[in-house]
Structure 1
């Protein structure tokens, strides 16, 4: 398992998602699923990129500015 910080480029905005996944492929799949569930009408996803990846331990986290 890995903790991922993912950057999602949508029309007119940039979103950040923190999620837990077994591998990179599942992380991308989960990210698309989260976008679809978050918005009433699913926006066009221009790009999805893994910004950071680390093993989860007590105190693990990401700072998002």
Structure 2
């Protein structure tokens, strides 16, 4: 199992999505489902991009920088 960090542009802002998956294809599929659940329709967002992936083990995680406001 791997931990993935993906990003997509949504209405001019970058949205980060973190998912656990067995492979790249599954990670993209799960990220799409999560975005859909947040009511971010495909027409409102750009393509997903893989930013990072690492083995999912105890203590694994990502530091995600907040955008300047």
Q: Normalised by the shorter chain, which TM-score bucket?
A: 0.7 to 0.9
Q: Which moved more, 1:48-57 or 1:8-17?
A: 8-17
1:55 corresponding residue in structure 2: 55
Report how far residue 11 of structure 1 moved.
2.1
2:25 corresponding residue in structure 1: 25
Q: What TM-score, normalized to structure 2?
A: 0.83
Runs of 4+, deviation exceeding 3 Å: none
2:11 corresponding residue in structure 1: 11
What 5-or-longer segments of structure 1 have no aligned partner?
A: none
- Mapped to 2, the partners of 1:22 and 1:2 lie a distance apart of 6
Q: What TM-score, normalized to structure 1?
A: 0.87
